[in-house]
Amino acid sequence: MSTVKVVNLQHPDAASPAVSLDSSGAVSSLAGFTSAGLLQVVHTKFDTPTLINANQNSYVDVPNFTGSITPSSASSKILIFLSVSFGAHITGGYMISFAVKKNGSIVSPPSSFGQRVPAHIATEVSDSNNWQYNVQHASALIMDTPNSTSQQTYQVAATHNVSGEAWNLYVNRSNFDYDDPQNARAVSTLTLAELAV
CA atoms of 140 and 121, how far apart (whole Å): 7
DSSP-assigned states of every residue in 50-92? EEEEE-BT--EEEEEEEEEE--SSTT-EEEEEEEEEEEE--SS
For range 145-159, the mean pLDDT: 96
* Co-location of 53 and 28 in the same domain: no
Q: What is the pLDDT of residue 146?
A: 97
Q: What is the pLDDT of residue 133?
A: 77
Tens of pLDDT, residues 90-127: 666 678 899 999 999 999 999 998 888 899 999 887 76
* Co-location of 168 and 100 in the same domain: yes
- Is a pLDDT exceeding 60 seen at residue 1? no
Query: What CATH number should be reported for the domain holding residue 137?
Result: 2.60.120.1340
CA atoms of 82 and 106, how far apart (whole Å): 13
Q: Give the pLDDT band of residue 128 (cuts 50, 70, 90).
A: low
User: In which domain, by residue range, is 138 found?
Assistant: 37-196
Closest CA to 61 of 171, 139, 137: 171
- What residues contact residue 175 under an 8 Å CB cut-off, 6+ apart? 87, 88, 89, 90, 132, 133, 168
CA atoms of 148 and 44, how far apart (whole Å): 22
- What residues contact residue 145 under an 8 Å CB cut-off, 6+ apart? 77, 78
Instruction: Find how far residue 86's CA is from the centre of its chain.
Output: 16
* Co-location of 97 and 28 in the same domain: no
Phi, psi of 86 (to 5 degrees): -155, 160
Q: Are strands 121-125 and 94-102 parallel, antiparallel or unpaired?
A: antiparallel
Q: Which of 63-67, 107-111, 131-135 has the lowest mean pLDDT?
A: 131-135
Q: What is the pLDDT of residue 101?
A: 97
* Co-location of 94 and 41 in the same domain: yes
* Co-location of 56 and 137 in the same domain: yes
* Co-location of 29 and 41 in the same domain: no
* Co-location of 23 and 95 in the same domain: no
Q: What is the pLDDT of residue 92?
A: 64
* Co-location of 15 and 82 in the same domain: no
Q: Which of 6-20, 25-39, 161-175 has the lowest mean pLDDT?
A: 25-39
Tens of pLDDT, residues 15-61: 787 777 777 766 666 665 555 689 999 999 999 999 988 777 789 99
CA atoms of 87 and 156, how far apart (whole Å): 16
Q: What is the pLDDT of residue 28?
A: 64
